[in-house]
A and B are shown apart, each in its own frame.
Chain A
Amino acid sequence: MRLAAEQKSHPVRTEQIILFRASNQIFAISSASVQEVRSVDSLAGAAVEVNEGSLAKVRHAIQRGDRNLYVVNAPLHFGLRPTPAALIFLLRKSRVALLVDGIEKMTTMSRLQALPGAFCHEERAWYRGVTVLDQNVIPVVNPSGFLTSEELALLDAVTSHKNLARASDATQPELTA
């Protein structure tokens, strides 16, 4: 009787990612961390303005259930020039919604490289690492790196006195940066 040959090769672990644009730069985010992709227009009525000078990247909040989601402007978060946003990513298991210019494409990455140690500032929180796609280096964002717990607490305090309007009854705020 012939025994089946032992499987020696390990399948390559891949991860579905969304390539998105923010201020004309390409970033990647794990598809699994994005719960919904909405157009800016579809959420315009549901958002209320947030005015916290120390957090310019957050100008709107959306009420979801009994808590607020905070809309982070991706270009401002990454220190880039603000550009007109078209889409919002509602992140899974997160209180962050991400304002982006648009989706480039959905694809698969097979290797995530750690951010080299020479990068030693805020970008270490921004990115999970980098990946190489079609001979291009793409930073893979860290979904939990957009707002710290301290920043969330600050935003909660700022918005606690506001009665967040729902989509049906709010005036239309401007969602572009």
Chain B
Amino acid sequence: MTWTDQLDTCSCVLLRLGERRFALAADQVAELAAPSRVFRFAHRTPEIDGVILRRGRVVPVCDIAEQLTGRKLAQRRFYLIATRHQQDGRDWVALPVSGECELIQADLTPAGPSDSPHVSAWLSHQGEVIEVLNLYAVTPGSPDPGDARLAPPALPEVHV
């Protein structure tokens, strides 16, 4: 299959970061959570704002708005809890979003070689063309995002 081929219809979650909307493959989304206390401790990963406690699990908060829109979120209305497949299991990341999220079904067009690494595919929804995010490229501590782009967004089987 070439990059210009259409993928099958895929479930995606639309998320809002400021004025822009992005999408994430639904199977990479665990839940949408209300804002909660952010715990901070010393570290050197600038993309991480802190951690939240969710169902007894410590989940790092990564504000991806700045790298995608150029500015940090002024208001965090929810945390979209996303999951990444790592070498040693599943890893959770909390993405602050500025509005409610929407689950949709859409046909995806895979990203092309000229697209940014953070784009794994494109979808069209209500007349708007929306980037489907490569979670591995927008969050720190991921395997090589270049490898992740080759995988369909719904099944990001990426291993170190």
A residues with CB within 8 A of B: 25, 27, 78-80, 113, 116-123, 126, 130, 132, 135-139
Contact = CB atoms under 8 A, between A and B. Distances in A.
Given A118-B47, A139-B42, 15 more contacts: A116-B58, A116-B60, A117-B141, A118-B60, A119-B60, A123-B42, A123-B43, A123-B44, A126-B42, A126-B43, A130-B51, A136-B39, A137-B41, A137-B51, A138-B41
A166 to B, nearest CB: 34
> Secondary structure at chain B's binding surface: helix, strand, loop or mixed?
strand
Contacts of A79: 42, 44
Interface of B: 39, 41-45, 47-48, 51, 53, 56-60, 62, 84, 86, 91-93, 139-142
Contacts, number: 68
A122 B48 CA distance: 13
A138 B86 CA distance: 24
Given A25-B42, A130-B51, A120 B141 contact: yes
Given A130-B58, A132-B58, A137-B58, A116 B51 contact: yes
Given A123-B43, A137-B39, A118 B56 contact: no
B45 to A, nearest CB: 5
A132 B45 contact: no
Nearest to A121: B44
A139 B60 CA distance: 13
Contacts of B93: 116, 118
B98 to A, nearest CB: 21
Contacts of B48: 118-119
A117 B84 contact: yes
A120 B140 contact: yes
A123 B40 CA distance: 13
B43 A117 contact: no
A25 B41 contact: yes
Nearest to A129: B58
Please give me the 10 A-B residue pairs with the lowest Cβ-Cβ distance, nearest first: A120-B141, A78-B42, A121-B44, A137-B39, A123-B43, A118-B60, A118-B141, A117-B91, A117-B141, A139-B41
B90 to A, nearest CB: 10
Contacts of A119: 43, 45, 48, 60, 140-141
Contacts of B59: 116
B140 A118 contact: yes
B42 A118 contact: no
Contacts of A78: 42
A119 B48 CA distance: 7
A31 B80 CA distance: 37
A69 to B, nearest CB: 23
Nearest to B48: A118
Contacts of B39: 136-137
A135 B86 CA distance: 27
A101 to B, nearest CB: 14
A177 to B, nearest CB: 15
Nearest to B87: A117
Nearest to A80: B42
Contacts of A25: 41-42
A118 B53 contact: no
